[in-house]
A and B are shown apart, each in its own frame.
Chain A
Amino acid sequence: MKNLYPQNEPPLFAAFIAVLIVAGSIFGIDRLSGGVVRGYAREGGGAFWALANGATALVTESGALSGRRALEEENAALEGEIARRDESLTRFEALEDENAALREMANLAANDPGIAASVLSSLWSSPYGTFSIGVGSEEGVDEGSVVLTPGGFVLGIVTDVAAHTSLVEALFAPGNEVELTTNDIAFTAEGQGGGNARARVPRDAAVEARAVVLVPELASRPAGVVGAVESASSSAFTSVYIHLPVNVSVLRYVYVVTP
């Protein structure tokens, strides 16, 4: 059998020390400089994400990823003048969706001063429950700024700001503990990622499905909706499952409340 094991690699221990020194230096410089390395990386990443999002939108709207049969039907329907009209209609609908999202944010702006921001990186890309948005310190965003969904639910908090991008940590990031209230019942929920959280409340607490949960420390803004309440007869506690009423993985715009 052919020997595929590399023969001329550097000694493993020396390589390990080299990796340790390089990684330690990068993280050390980042820490001493107050996050400058991460800031530059995210600015660069922001340009890549904007490019990737544009390409994805183009491919999605053109229908290139539809099934073969759907494409054949679409091809037949898109002949001649009808094709151009359909294309215009699709474009109009996309713009209408975007307009509706921005209009919702304009309603938010009436109550809270802030800025609409495009979502650059998806929440599912990050193992830390974070995502990047396309506004930064130049646009008035600061660390601690609250990020809302177009409907006004708390999505997360800005934890790191660069010139034109910011990193947002989701309120329901995996392992994040959040103080919440619903129907005047206070409890601690643990984030599960993807806009979901789980909590345990005393069995006799009146928590109902579809009730809105609030975050007292963020001016009692809504943070999610109770999706399900489960209680075993042998347990003194009830499990409460909370979720955001929007699909966070497809959010294109968010609203950042500026201080």
Chain B
Amino acid sequence: MWSRPNTARVLLALAALVSVFVGPWWATLILAIALTLRYRAWEVIGIGLLMDILFMPFPVSLSFGALPWGTIIAAVLLFGLEPLRRQLLT
């Protein structure tokens, strides 16, 4: 059911993961965009989730100021770029 991961995807995902800890947040964003442009990269959700869990100064709630933006942006990239991926890759 799952496609076999290739080297570029694994390297990009690892770079994004390391970037969460030691890189600037925008580097993680760029790597996540690169990943989701080319692959349906589920790992981006995990990376966004990790960023929120590590750095969010508040518990998540439904108010605008307490939303997990890392996870939301990761989901938007993953699902929002699907039509573009479909156009580019077929």
List A100-128 residues whose CB lies under 8 Å from chain B.
121-122, 124-128
Bin chain A's interface residue count. Answer: 35 or more
A 6-43 binary contact with B (CB < 8 Å = 1; else 0): 10111010011001001100110011001101100110
State the Cβ distance, B29 to closest chain A Cβ, in Å. Answer: 8
Given contacts A12-B82, A125-B22, A127-B25, contact A23 B1 (CB under 8 A): no
Q: Is the CB of B57 within 8 A of A127?
A: no
Q: Is the CB of A31 within 8 A of B55?
A: no
State the Cβ distance, A170 to closest chain B Cβ, in Å. Answer: 10
B 10-45 binary contact with A (CB < 8 Å = 1; else 0): 000000000011111100000000000001101001
Query: Total A-B residue pairs with C-beta atoms closer than 8 Å?
Result: 102
List residues of chain A with CB within 8 A of the CB of B1. 8-10
B 46-90 binary contact with A (CB < 8 Å = 1; else 0): 000111111111111100000011110001001100100110011
State the Cβ distance, A171 to closest chain B Cβ, in Å. Answer: 12
Report if A45 contacts B (CB, 8 A): yes
Bound Cα distance A48, B75 (Å): 26
Q: Is the CB of A169 within 8 A of B57?
A: yes
List residues of chain B with CB within 8 A of the CB of A12. 79, 82
Report if B7 contacts A (CB, 8 A): no
List residues of chain B with CB within 8 A of the CB of A35. 59
Report if A219 contacts B (CB, 8 A): no
Contact of A27 among B20, B60, B79 (CB under 8 A): B60
Add 15 more A-B contacts to A4-B90, A132-B54 (CB < 8 A). Answer: A6-B39, A12-B82, A23-B68, A26-B53, A27-B68, A27-B71, A30-B60, A34-B59, A45-B54, A49-B22, A125-B55, A127-B70, A128-B56, A159-B57, A167-B57
A-B contact pairs, 11 of them (CB 8 A): A3-B89, A6-B39, A23-B75, A35-B59, A37-B53, A41-B53, A49-B22, A121-B54, A128-B69, A159-B57, A159-B58
Residue numbers of B with Cβ under 8 A of A are 1-3, 20-25, 39-40, 42, 45, 49-61, 68-71, 75, 78-79, 82, 85-86, 89-90
